[in-house]
Amino acid sequence: MFRKSPQINAAISAVCRDAATKVVLELPELEHDLVSPCLERVHDFLRNNQRDLGAMECIFKLDFSGADIAQEDLTVSSLCQNLGTGANIIIIDENLKIKGLDSIPSTALSELSPYSKSQACCIIHVFSGVEMVIYANGLIKSELNALHLYRGPVTHKKTARHGNDYILSILEHYQNRIRYPGISSDHWGNRRNRILRNSPKKTEKIFHDNLWNWLEENLDYAVVSGNVGKVTGDETDIEISIHGEPRFYIIEVKWLGTNGHSEHSEPRLRDGITQVKEYLERDPAASEACLVAYDGRDIEKFEALGCCNYETGQWKEIRTCQNAELPPRGKGFVFYLESQSASEKRI
């Protein structure tokens, strides 16, 4: 067990108080006086047991209600036993008593954020034994390391931009989360055969949630909303409103390829362009509408896609597709999905 000086104790308490404040601002029904010591106890648990935990990964869900009866203390042994049942979410109270178990399909960001939002709860994603990413109501509130208190954020959080620069953020989202398979996205059902995942969430929802989470975390001076129904009878996928400005942007998300049940190609892009035009016609106050399409087809089909304003080897900016053309306030991007990780491509 680590020996902690009074100075270290004070530093840990300060960091956890700050993280707790961010959590309570998002979830005011939680009591700061319970959240802060709970975070501190989780931090100490990871720090004191780092050798035994190794590269362990799990999710702690904070539950301070009296609805369930706590069953056992959180120890390395009890944690391993419960994870061995197939659960990946350990429900704990403020005293690190285990109250129950839950599970999600994976610990990718595209699953963690929607779970926290749908449950209106605080969760702590622990990976590599000591890394802590704290979510509240679907948003990342703090990122801590149990061994290095003041270390910078973990690498998946790359940049912050003004909301008006949302296009640059979409490009950075592709490079940092979506282009290659990995911990930041789990959109492949079968990488070898380039089949996208379709359950437990629909394929489009997987991409939607991942992009929404990225924009929510990385755009400043903006409110990012998902599935907004004010423009048409159909919900817009994502809307970005700018603080202090009469500006908002609309994003329509599509995918190309196959998920084992359905298959989409250029007609899907045409439909997306048509939707962008309808959004802008029905709401002239919208500053821009942007089509974002993720292409899981073979590279040859991606490369054959024409009508591009600009293209790289990984993404293309389009204006037209099958006689459908984006209006002046419309933008369109198609992003190629690698089925090999960056390290696999280097071999």
pLDDT at 100: 92
Instruction: Summarize pLDDT for 1-35 with one digit per residue, the tens.
Output: 444 556 556 665 676 778 888 899 889 999 999 99
Residue 208 DSSP symbol: H
At 169, list the tokens. Answer: 């953020």
Single pTM value for the model: 0.60
Lowest mean pLDDT among 68-72, 262-266, 286-290, 317-321: 68-72
Tell me how far CA of residue 208 lies from CA of 132, 246, 295, in angstroms.
Answer: 24, 25, 14
Instruction: Summarize pLDDT for 118-135 with one digit per residue, the tens.
Output: 999 999 999 888 888 899
Instruction: Summarize pLDDT for 199-241 with one digit per residue, the tens.
Output: 888 999 999 999 998 998 888 878 888 876 544 445 678 999 9
Hey, is 137 helix, strand or coil? coil
**Taking 90 as the threshold, does the pLDDT of residue 67 lie above it?**
no
Domains of the chain as residue ranges with CATH: 6-145 (3.40.1700), 161-346 (no CATH)
Contact 42, 132 (CB under 8 A): yes
What is the distance between the alpha carbons of residues 332 and 45, in angstroms, rounded to a whole number? 48
Contact 328, 291 (CB under 8 A): no
| Range 85-110 burial, b when 16+ CB lie within 10 A, else e | eebbbbbbbbebbbbbbeebeebbbb
pLDDT at 228: 67
**Taking 70 as the threshold, does the pLDDT of residue 343 lie above it?**
no
What is the distance between the alpha carbons of residues 140 and 240, in angstroms, rounded to a whole number? 18
DSSP string spanning 39-64? Answer: HHHHHHHHHHTHHHHTT--EEEEE--
Contact 259, 308 (CB under 8 A): no
Instruction: Summarize pLDDT for 267-281 with one digit per residue, the tens.
Output: 999 999 999 999 999
How many percent of the chain have pLDDT more than 90? 53
Please provide the average confidence, as pLDDT, over all residues in the chain.
Answer: 86
Contact 17, 36 (CB under 8 A): yes
Instruction: Summarize pLDDT for 305-331 with one digit per residue, the tens.
Output: 876 777 777 999 999 999 999 999 999
